[in-house]
Amino acid sequence: AVISNLLDELLAHKVLNQAEVDEVQEANPVTTDKARSLIDTVRLKGPRASAIFIDSLRKHDCNLAEQLGLSAGAAGSWISTQLLAGG
């Protein structure tokens, strides 16, 4: 459910298009493969896409985001640093 929510939000923010959402969902029958594919796709799109992904992850699974060290302060600082540095 978390991955579907992330995909919906990333589609709404125009980080992903419908074909990319379909690719993540249909080409990866195992949840971990879906997650890996989603992360790889977003990373290739640069810092803005990554920032939106991190914000979405914090919103839809705050426990996982915290375990990954993506708390609001840490992620915000990292994102700001990356955006200011140009990626």
Q: Percentage helix, strand, coil, to 5, in the chain?
A: 75, 0, 25
Token pair in block for residue 30: 């195992």
Query: Residues 49, 74, 32, 25: is their CA dihedral positive or negative?
Result: negative
Judge if pTM exceeds 0.75.
yes
pLDDT at 71: 66
Quote the CA–CA distance of 60 and 77 in Å, as a whole number. Answer: 20
The full DSSP string for 27-40 is: S--SHHHHHHHHHH
Token pair in block for residue 9: 């939000």
Question: The domain that contains 61 carries what CATH number?
Answer: 1.10.533.10
For the chain, how many structural domains are there in total? 1
Per-residue pLDDT of 8-52, as tens digits, reads 999 999 999 999 999 999 999 999 999 999 999 999 999 999 999
Domain of residue 60: give its range: 2-84
Say if residues 10 and 19 touch (Cβ distance below 8 Å).
no
pLDDT at 69: 81
Per-residue pLDDT of 42-87, as tens digits, reads 999 999 999 999 999 999 998 888 888 876 654 455 554 554 455 4
